[in-house]
Amino acid sequence: MYTFDGRVRYSEVGVDGNMTLESLLDYFQDASIFHSEDVGLGVDYFKEVNQAWLLSAWQICVNRRPRLCENIIIGTSPYEFKGFVGSRNFWMETKEGEVLAYANSVWSLMDLERMMPAKAREDFASIYHLEEKYPMEYAPRKIRVPADGTAKEPFAVKTHHLDTNNHVNNGQYVRMAMDYIPENFEISQLRVEYKNQAVLDDVIYPVVADSEDGQLYTVSLNREDGKPYSIVELRRDENKL
């Protein structure tokens, strides 16, 4: 188990004074980076071996978004390595122990030179120290895309969308998808499936579908040929209509 303390910054909140979903996701992503760096398997190590952990899927459940200046604890723990696939949980709590959000994630270890899966080292489990799975209801990794989506204006990938691998950052896909949901759509669960890596100047073609009851939005961020870079599913908190 790896944890670090935080305090909600003004730059991390929306107009309601609560942490945005995108900032919450950034905290979880940072937790995995901090953990890997602290055990000696950080960004520089994977650059040397020409490998990278690429995110395959997110499932983030939100009980409450923390408020401006609220003190928080962010935690993460890997729970499985199987071949080239690693799985990791995350959580965010208050200092008093209130669980604000929790998540599951699935990652693939890739050889960046050949762009093929690379088997995880046998000692990864002991270095990262595997934990028990977080007690949550685990959703499928695959996301169903409705056939009746509406195409939106395409846009190009810019430099600010990229991460250290020169691919669109995981959180940026969520930021893109958030542009297509109603302003007061309070999200209780976010799921993301990553399918292809978008790079600088690639053009993204969004297709947006919502359920009849307005409780669920699915945003497919596609290539020109219709194959998705990423699929983002956003479910409304039914108690906050």
The helix (run of H) or strand (run of E) holding residue 170 is helix 170-178
Q: Where are the domains of the chain?
A: 1-134, 142-241
CB 49 within 8 A of CB 198: no
CB 158 within 8 A of CB 202: no
Which tens digits make up the pLDDT trace of 16-65?
A: 999 999 999 999 999 999 999 999 999 999 999 999 999 999 999 999 99
DSSP, collapsed to helix, strand or coil, labels residue 28 as helix
Query: One digit per residue, pLDDT tens: the chain, 241 residues?
Result: 999 999 999 999 999 999 999 999 999 999 999 999 999 999 999 999 999 999 999 999 999 999 999 999 999 999 999 999 999 999 999 999 999 999 999 999 999 888 899 988 889 989 999 999 999 999 999 999 999 999 999 999 999 999 877 889 888 999 999 999 998 899 999 999 999 989 999 999 999 999 989 899 999 999 999 999 999 999 997 765 4
Structure tokens at 52: 């990278």
pLDDT at 83: 92
pLDDT at 229: 96
- Same fold for the pair 1-134 and 142-241: yes
pLDDT at 219: 97
pLDDT at 48: 93
Which tens digits make up the pLDDT trace of 5-15?
A: 999 999 999 99
How far apart CA 164 and CA 199 sit, in angstroms, is 11
pLDDT at 239: 67
Question: Which residues lie closer than 8 Å to 239 by C-beta, 6 or more apart?
Answer: none
Does CATH place domain 142-241 in 3.30.565.10?
no
Conformation bin of residue 49: beta by default, left when phi > 0, alpha when psi is -120 to 50: alpha
Residue 15 burial (CB count, 10 A) = 7
Question: Which residues lie closer than 8 Å to 117 by C-beta, 6 or more apart?
Answer: 83, 84, 108, 109, 110, 111
Which one-letter DSSP state was computed for residue 133? P
pTM: 0.92
pLDDT at 91: 98
DSSP, collapsed to helix, strand or coil, labels residue 236 as strand
DSSP string, 63-89: S-PPBTT-EEEEEEEEEEEETTEEEEE
Of the candidate CATH numbers 3.30.420.10, 3.40.50.300, 3.10.129.10, 3.30.300.10, the domain formed by 1-134 belongs to 3.10.129.10
